[in-house]
Amino acid sequence: MRRWPCFAIAAAAITLFGYGLTPGNRVAAAQAAGTARIVAKVVLTGTPPPPARLQMNADPVCAKKHQTTAVLSQTVETGADGALKNTLVFVKDGVTGAYPAPSTPATLDQVGCVYTPHVFGVMAGQPVQIINSDPTLHNIHPMPVTNAGFNIGMPIEGMKQTRVFSKAEAPFHVKCDVHPWMSAYIGVFSHPFFGVSNEQGEVELKNLPAGTFQVQAWQEKYGALTQSVTVAVGETRQITFTFKAS
Amino acid sequence: MIRRSRVLCRAGSALVLMILLTPSRASAIPAFARKYGLSCTACHEAWPALNDFGRAFRDSGYQMLEGKDNPTTTAPGYIPLSIRLTPHYELNMATNQQTDQGMKTLKSGSISDIGLDLLMGGTLSDNVSFLVVPTGFTSGEGVSLEAAWVRFSNLGGSSWANLKVGKHDVDLPRASHRTWTLSQTGYLIYGYHSPGSVSVYDLGENQRGVEWVGHDRGSFTRAAVSVFNVQGSPGTRSAFDTPGVYAHVTREWLFDSSGLSAFRIGGFGSYATWPTSTLTEDNEPIPGQGGDLKGSSKVGFDAHFWFGPNVTPAHLIVVFAHGQDNEALIPDATRDGTFNGGFVELGYTPTLRTTVFGRYDVIRNGTQGVPDNPQNLNDKDAETIGLRHTFNFTSRAEYALHAEFSTMRTQLAAADGSDTRNNTLFLGIDFAF
Amino acid sequence: MRGIWCTGLGLVLLTVAASADEQAGNPARGKAVYGRYCVSCHGERGDGAGESAQYAMPRPRDFRQGTFKWRSTPTGSLPLVSDLERTIRDGVYWTMMPSWYPLSRRARLDVIAYLQTLSPRWKADQPGEPLAIPPEPSRTAESVARGRAIYDMQKCAQCHGDQGAGDGPSAKTLADEWGDPDPPFDLTKGHMKGGSTGENLYLVFMTGLNGTPMPSFAETIKPDEAWDLVHYMQSLGARKPTTP
């Protein structure tokens, strides 16, 4: 009987360690981890808009950081075979039960007068660490509807700010008024089943319990697509979201 | 009897003159609403009567004092001009009028040949404002300037130093220019004089002169003093040869109460001279050559009560004054004439659109200047009731149905010594844009 | 006649004695206040789209988001009732928002209670904790000079310009959360928008103006530095005569 607390501590430590390994903008480990997986592929058909070059002349500090390379807009970034990057894929409906938020912060860096990452999800209550890696003034200005917004001046290089969005909310815009080309989107979720498509347009939602879920892909320019997906215990389902470039 | 009929004749002609000179309806000024984007209800308890916000705006020299008053801050197309007119049907009845056929009741009624008010008012620069009101425009009549003044506000940065120069309305307990009633049998105390007095000085008449106004922030405590040449005086040879002065001090309190929400008390007084002699030519008076000035005075108080919420109030006004006319103003008088009078007015505005109102005016003579005159000669009682319903109001225009009935009894005023009664029914559309 | 005076006096005494209302505003009465004074700009629905809104720049406040500029509370949070009361009472200089000082405080509290029904945020959130403002140190030339150094360090000039005239490199692209142009304030105008007292200025950059590009600098400016910056801003305004 004496060993019980030891097991508990060990289990807790493993769980925490597990959280620690999980980047904030990827799928976090679930408390009661399921075994089902949904692998989504996001593609864009039609001709994507030509990549727009960001004009940073208004702030010499920004322009100086990109003297050699052009910085392109991240609004629509495609890879091979129309793979669409920076699409937030998440379970919109069908998740039951409570999932605690990880204490590991998600990170939003302001570097070279660009937000990195451009799109990401966090869990409600999860800290978001905002970093200014530029020797210029950024104001971090998220514009949520359900959560309280804020607008903080970050004039000093290396400055960090940690904030929390406490309520689940559909993706909202983050802007820097000083540099109008800077743009990021954050989705806040009550569960860990979300992710952002990579260069291959792929997102993996893992550790899902068995069940039927409404899965949504949200893209800042093309809006949202929703599919109903049923997975059994241990099953992996491949789905595809196809956006049309108009 | 001869003396009495002469007195009556003078009283009658004074009355006629008074009615002729009674200023036309004046001011609800949509140009201000346009300039500041506010609807008329922001400044008017029920237009054209001002509320506290409108009073403070007026006392500030038609300014909000938020950096948007200077005419250069308005769009170039903005013109500080508004128009108000009131097409209406008016029925008048006067009893006990002497005719060749005996004592008769005279009636008249028509769609009136109304005039209109051109209300031009605004700022010329920061802290310099103006109002010019040409009025009249009826057939057979000319146009007169009811008001024409320039005001220098906040002199030296103080709200206690505002100077108005020109023809202006004095700061009445209840502005007859900005009230709900339109018939002209009301506010009798403003223009009343002891029977027989030659003076036609009328508080309700705009005066040519200078006015100083001082007020605190929000205009809760305020004072106004006008010095002027009495309007209508036949003695006008120079700017102040028939001088008059009028002063009014008020203080208002707002209460955190849904019963009595506001209360204002004020005191006012006037002293106005009038010539009692004139140079003549062939026994005819030479215009502008009056002399031997004698005074008439009035002193009184006003109290305003607002019951219920500030935005839909029942507004009760009580005004009382004591008046005196120097005996020299009254032919055949052997002593000064005195009288008391005033009015009680109640207006209830249950919604922003509708106001019902009523007023009781009373005049009671104290000492008759002519000792033989009966004490109650020319005592008056008038009752007015009415309704205004504004169909629509915006920051651009407003139009309202106006229905009003008023009746006035004048004691012993008929040629045969009986009382006379004047009834007026007024039904029309009042609009301004 | 005497009866009327007596009745009037009696009514006064009766009503003054009878009613002392609760401190909090009453939204039903506030709606009536709103209908009389506010609706022409802020609109029937509180959406800031009244008949005069199209001629107002900046636009009248849209009350549906619970976003308010002039606060004593931290960035992003709801304002205190006393913050809203001050804005209504004093107005916003250089804008169409007049001072509603002549209204009773009761009317202002009532209309605030009504405004609080127009955004769900007032049910979901609490107003933030108001910022503590230390007493103002004396306004010396040294303080003004230190304030200028803070102005540079915080990079205020990026929007407000090197001389505070609102002509910084980012000035032209600034927009508010509703997408309307929202140029940075010309600090040399003399009269500040949210009130010209030292405390008013202190709060502007220490809490930010919600809904606008103006952020909070509470994370990077210490309280004593904040007063230096206030003194510098006041010295900018003093260069032009103040309109009373």
Burial category of C39 from C-beta neighbours within 10 Å (exposed 0-12, middle 13-18, buried 19 and up): buried
Q: Is A135 in CB contact (< 8 Å) with chain C?
A: no
**For A62-71, what is the mean pLDDT?**
87
Report chain A residues whose CB lies below 8 A from the CB of C178: none
Task: Please check whether residue A174 touches C, CB under 8 A.
Answer: no
- Asked if C19 lies within 8 A of B310 by C-beta distance, the reply is no
* Tokens, residue C61: 């406040």
What is the C-alpha separation between C58 and C186, in angstroms, rounded?
14
- Comparing CB atoms, the residue among B67, B256, B259 nearest residue C18 is B259
- Tens of pLDDT, residues B179-196: 999 887 889 999 999 999
Question: Is B166's pLDDT higher than 90?
Answer: yes
CA distances from B35 to A115, B31, B39, B423 (A): 44, 6, 11, 40
**DSSP code for A17:** H
| The pLDDT value given to residue C16 | 47
How high does pLDDT run on average in chain B? Answer: 89
A108-142: per-residue pLDDT in tens? 999 999 999 999 999 999 999 999 999 999 999 99
List, in sequence order, every residue forming a beta bridge with A186; answer none if it has no partner.
A120, A172
CA distance B203 to B210: 15
CB contact (8 A) between residue C244 and residue B157: yes
Does the pLDDT at position A88 exceed 80? Answer: yes
Q: What is the mean pLDDT of residues B339-368?
A: 96
pLDDT on residue C8: 54
- What does the block give as tokens for C22? 């609760």
Residue scoring higher pLDDT (B287 or A14): B287
Task: Nearest chain A residue to C64 by CA: give it.
Answer: A145
**Minimal CA–CA distance to A199: which of A121, A84, A117, A89?**
A84
Structure tokens at B79: 């013109």
Cβ contact B–A (≥3 pairs, < 8 Å): no
Cβ neighbours of A178 in C, within 8 Å = 158-159, 170, 213
Q: Mutate one of B66, B123, B125, B258 to test the C interface: name it (highest C CB count within 10 A).
A: B66
3-state secondary structure B61-88: CCCCCCCCCCHHHCCCCCCCEEEEECCE
**Which run of H or of E encompasses B188?**
helix B188-191
In chain B, the residue whose alpha carbon lies closest to the alpha carbon of C194 is: B66
Q: How far is Cα B131 from Cα B206, in angstroms, rounded to an integer? A: 12
Asked whether residue B10 carries a pLDDT value surpassing 70, the answer given is: no
Phi and psi angles of residue C217, each rounded to the nearest 5 degrees, phi first: -110, 20
- What integer best gives the mean pLDDT of chain A? 87
pLDDT given at position A15: 44
Cβ neighbours of residue A98 under 8 Å, at least 6 residues apart?
A: A31, A190
- Touching B (3+ Cβ pairs <8 A), the chains are C
- What does the DSSP 8-state code read for residue B250? E
| Phi-psi sector, B303: left (phi>0), alpha (psi -120 to 50), beta | beta
Q: How far is B273 from chain C (nearest CA, A)?
A: 30
Q: Confidence class of residue A21 from pLDDT cuts 50, 70 and 90?
A: very low
Q: CB-based contact (8 Å) between A140 and chain C?
A: yes
C-alpha A129/C-alpha A196 separation (Å) is: 18
Please say if the pLDDT value at position B240 is more than 80. no
Q: Is the bond into B48 cis (omega within 30 degrees of 0)?
A: yes
For residue A98, the SS3 value is coil
Nearest to C220 among A140, A151, A155 (CB): A155
Mean pLDDT for B329-344 is: 96
Q: How many residues does chain C have?
A: 244
Q: Token pair for residue A214?
A: 């409404």
- Counting Cα atoms < 13 Å in the Cβ hemisphere of B408 gives 22
Distance from CA of B279 to the nearest CA of C (A): 44
| B256-280 confidence digits (pLDDT tens) | 887 999 999 999 999 999 999 888 8
Chain C residues closer than 8 Å to A153 by CB? 154, 205, 208, 215-217, 219-220
Residue B406's nearest CA partner among B378, B381, B377 is B381
Please report the pLDDT score of residue B237 as a whole number.
66
Q: Vertex B218, ends B217 and B219: CA angle to 5°?
A: 90
Q: Which chains does chain A touch, 3 or more C-beta pairs < 8 A?
A: C
Residues C204/C214, Cβ–Cβ less than 8 Å:
yes
A8, pLDDT greater than 60 = no
For chains C and A, tell me whether 3 or more CB atom pairs sit within 8 A of each other. Answer: yes
Give the highest mean pLDDT range of A70-79, B18-27, C127-136: C127-136
Amino acid at B387: L
Pairing of strands B420-432, B88-99: antiparallel
Nearest to C153 among A143, A150, A155 (CB): A155
CA atoms of A73 and B3, how far apart (whole Å): 102
Residue A164 scores a pLDDT above 80 = yes
Query: B369 exposed, middle or buried (CB, 10 Å; 0-12, 13-18, 19+)?
Result: buried
- Residues of chain C with Cβ-Cβ distance to A148 below 8 Å are 76-77, 121, 125
Tell me the average confidence (pLDDT) per consecutive run of 10 residues in chain C, 244 residues long.
Answer: 54 46 80 96 95 92 95 95 96 95 94 96 91 94 96 95 94 93 92 88 96 95 95 82 42
pLDDT range class, residue B294, cuts 50, 70, 90: very high
Of the partner residues C4, C20, C51, the one whose CB lies closest to the CB of residue B256:
C20
CB-based contact (8 Å) between B393 and chain C?
Answer: no
Q: Which residues 49-108 of chain A have a CB within 8 Å of chain C?
A: 58-59
Residue A17's pLDDT is 42
A81, two tokens = 């075979």
Predicted pLDDT at B70: 92
Instruction: Label residue C24 exposed, middle or buried (CB < 10 Å: 0-12, 13-18, 19+).
Output: exposed
Burial class, B110, CB count within 10 angstroms (exposed 0-12 / middle 13-18 / buried 19+): exposed
Kindly list the strands in the beta sheet with A236-244, ordered across the sheet, starting from the edge strand earlier in the chain: A202-208, A36-45, A236-244
CB within 8 Å: B38 and C99: no
Tokens of C186: 């010309």
What are C's interface residues with A at a Cβ cutoff of 8 A?
A: 65, 67, 74-77, 121, 124-125, 153-155, 158-159, 169-170, 173-175, 177, 205, 208, 210, 212-217, 219-220
Distances (CA, A) of B159 to A32, B162, B236, C97: 72, 7, 33, 20
d(CA C119, CA C211): 15
| Length in residues, chain A | 246
Report residue B234's pLDDT band, with 50, 70 and 90 as the boundaries: confident
Query: Which residue out of A113, A131, A151, A173 would a mutagenesis test of the C interface target, given it has the greatest number of C Cβ atoms within 10 Å?
Result: A151
Residues of chain A contacting residue C181, judged by C-beta atoms under 8 Å apart:
none
Q: Please name the member of C76, C173, C220 whose beta carbon is closest to the beta carbon of A150.
A: C76
For residue A161, what is the nearest residue in chain C, using CA coordinates? C219
User: CA quadruple A132, A137, A143, A149: dihedral positive or negative?
Assistant: positive
Contact B186, B361 (CB under 8 A): yes
Tokens for B239?
Answer: 């700017």
CB contact under 8 A, B126 and C243: yes
> Residues with Cβ < 8 Å from C7, sequence gap 6 or more?
none
Q: Per this entry, what is the length of chain B?
A: 433
Report the pLDDT value the prediction gives residue C228, as an integer from 0 to 100.
96
CA nearest to C11 within chain B:
B260
Please state, for a pLDDT cut of 70, what percent of chain C lies above it: 88
From chain C, the residues in CB contact with B31 under 8 A are none
Q: Measured on CA atoms in the order B233, B237, B240, B243, is the torsion positive or negative?
A: negative
**pLDDT at B286 exceeding the cut of 70:** yes
Contacts with C158 (C-beta within 8 Å, 6 or more apart), sequence order: A59, A136, A137, A178, C168, C169, C170
Per-residue pLDDT at B303: 98
Chain C residue numbers with beta carbons less than 8 Å from the beta carbon of B42 are: 36-37, 40
Closest residue to C75, CB basis, from A150, A156, A180: A150
Residue to test with chain C: of B34, B38, B319, most C Cβ within 10 A: B38
pLDDT tier at B2, thresholds 50, 70, 90? very low
Size of interface B-C (CB pairs under 8 A): 138
